[in-house]
A = this chain, B = another copy of it.
Amino acid sequence: MTVALDKDRLVDAMKTQAAIGGTDDGGLHRLALSDADGAARDWFVEQLRKLDLTVRIDEFGNIFGRRPGTDPDAPPVLVGSHLDSQPNGGIYDGQLGVVAGLELLRTLDDEGIETGHPIEIVNWTNEEGSRFQPGLQGSGVWSGEFDLQTEYDRTDRDGVRLLDELERIGYRGDTPAEPTEEYEAYFELHIEQGPYLEQSGNDVGVVTGVVGLSWGEVTFTGEANHAGSTPMHLRYDAGVPAAELLVQIRRLPGRIGERTVGTVGSVDVEPDSINIIPETATVTWDVRDPSDDVVDRAVDRLSAEAEAAAGREGVDYEIEEAARTGSAEFDEDCVETVQRVADEFGYESMRLLSGGNHDASHVNEVCDSAMVFAVSEGGKSHTPEEFTSWGDCYKAANTVANATLATAIDDEESTNSRRRIAADE
């Protein structure tokens, strides 16, 4: 059984939510727990209540809306994504996944379809990690990967504490931020944020997993001195090894793996004055690869480059890995369900790994998960130029909605039940 979502209503919902925190250039500026995020959440909760769903807000602000199933023992199927955005980001990143889930629930209501399993829609708190680090925070706390109190105490650049902002916008809920019951599966639609679907001419992506990732930073410490009167051979310029490391991180993937990527997104130099030799220089790294071994090797290589560059300039350095996420492999049954649905609708699809990290990486630790990717034109994301045509939005939404429905309607024994029986044997 499949349902066809209402494309006009999907587009209307996208436009409505895109206006909350929308920017003049067609982008979206809706940082986690800002007033705009609060307004987007209010709109979302209002839609859930209109559908008579049971709304649950947990103590970390994750919002759930449950549509009951007919089988009292069947664990719920979860579908959703996130409503927060990057600073001056695009309108598709996150929001499309939430709106697609909402449109599924509206369609089921319209058509009077009942499912064996309950269906829960979810909006995860602070996926982006722009205002408060780290990202994937709501799903991280919920899945038990992150500690609740530690994440409450995170502060933004102005020193504002996350918990205070959560209370201010009225989204510190009262249910535990953890899975209080078993879940059947989780499906998430997200824009690809990369060029592979467009370049290969596909309609939707069947995501089989998420690449492994390492984040960190290196700080070099030399000596601040006058740019005019300090001879070159008596300098200890922290900026130089930082720049050399940046260039090496750009070149690293070409030496280490076909799918490896390496990025320096942030550079900070102090005292940051045109005529003073930098005393400290910090560069961040972001390296990813489908293989965790390759990520290990990349970190080893960039550590060696940092040491060599510091040695050449005669400066000290400190290196610290700030985050490490192992690659995630999604459940083959869930992936197959997505694939089958895409095939049934006649959508051209390809299997691919996600280069970006998503809430599904965390949720995959709790229950079987899979993702659907929508085409990102030009691969652009985290910018107002981010674009997915309404047609491509609709195809991906139909795919995630029907994968969710197919899993929820399933009247066979659930995957998890089967697994439990197998474990008992």
* A→B interface (CB under 8 Å): 86-88, 129-130, 192-195, 211, 213, 215, 223-232, 234, 237, 239-240, 242-244, 246-247, 250, 253-254, 260-269, 271-279, 281, 284, 286, 288, 354-357, 376, 379-383
Bound-complex Cα distance A340 to B88 (A) = 66
Q: Could you tell me the distance in whole angstroms from the C-beta of A96 to the nearest C-beta in chain B?
A: 15
Residues of B within 8 A of A266 (CB): 269, 272-274
Bound together, the chains give a CA A68 to CA B75 distance in angstroms of 98
Expressed in whole angstroms, the Cα–Cα distance for A246 and B245 within the complex equals: 12
Q: How far is A88 from B261 in the complex, measured between Cα atoms in Å?
A: 40
A selection of 19 A-B contacts at a CB cut-off of 8 Å is A88-B271, A193-B228, A194-B226, A211-B228, A225-B379, A226-B356, A227-B263, A228-B357, A229-B356, A229-B376, A230-B261, A230-B379, A232-B261, A239-B265, A239-B267, A243-B247, A263-B277, A266-B273, A267-B269
Is A229 a contact partner of B194 (Cβ separation < 8 A)? yes
User: Chain B contacts of A247 at CB under 8 A?
Assistant: 240, 243-244, 247
Nearest 6 CB-CB pairs, A to B?
A194-B229, A229-B355, A243-B243, A227-B263, A228-B355, A243-B246
Provide the residues of chain B in CB contact with A286, threshold 8 Å. Answer: 227-228, 274-275
Task: Given contact pairs A226-B379, A228-B354, A267-B268, enumerate 6 new A-B contacts (beta carbons under 8 Å).
Answer: A129-B275, A192-B229, A215-B274, A223-B380, A239-B267, A243-B264
Q: Which one, B213, B254, B268, contacts A228 given CB within 8 A?
A: B213
- Smallest CB gap from A286: residue in B: B227
Bound Cα distance from A382 to B194, whole angstroms: 46
A226–B381 CB distance below 8 A: yes
- How many Å from the CB of A251 to the closest CB on chain B? 9
Given A226-B193, A243-B244, A130:B231 Cβ within 8 A: no
Least Cβ–Cβ distance between A225 and chain B, in angstroms: 6
Q: Are A250 and B254 in contact (CB under 8 A)?
A: no
Partner among B254, B263, B276, B277 whose Cβ is within 8 Å of the Cβ of A275: B263
Chain B residues with Cβ below 8 Å from A224 are: 382-383
A250 and B230 form a contact (CB under 8 A): no
Whether B261 lies near A265 (C-beta < 8 A) is no
| Contact call A265/B275, Cβ cutoff below 8 A | yes
A234 contacts B355, CB within 8 Å? no
Closest to A232 in B: B253
Q: Pick from B231, B274, B376, B383: contact of A194, CB below 8 A.
A: B231
The one of B130, B215, B229, B232 that contacts A381, using a Cβ cutoff of 8 Å: B229
- A240 touching B230, Cβ below 8 Å: no
Cβ contact of A265, chosen from B87, B246, B273, cutoff 8 A: B273
Complex CA–CA separation, A263 to B242 (angstroms) = 14
Please give me the residue from chain B that is nearest to A277 by CB atom.
B263
Most buried by B among A224, A229, A284: A229
CB closest residue in chain B, given A267: B269
Chain B residues within 8 Å of A357, by CB = 228
CB-based contact A226/B355 at 8 Å = yes
The answer to whether residues A239 and B246 also contact, given A269-B266, A379-B234 and a CB cut-off of 8 A, is yes
> Which residue on B lies nearest to A211, using beta carbons?
B228
Contacts of A271 in B (CB 8 A): 87-88, 382
Please report the C-alpha to C-alpha distance between residue A229 and residue B375 in the assembled complex, in whole angstroms. 12
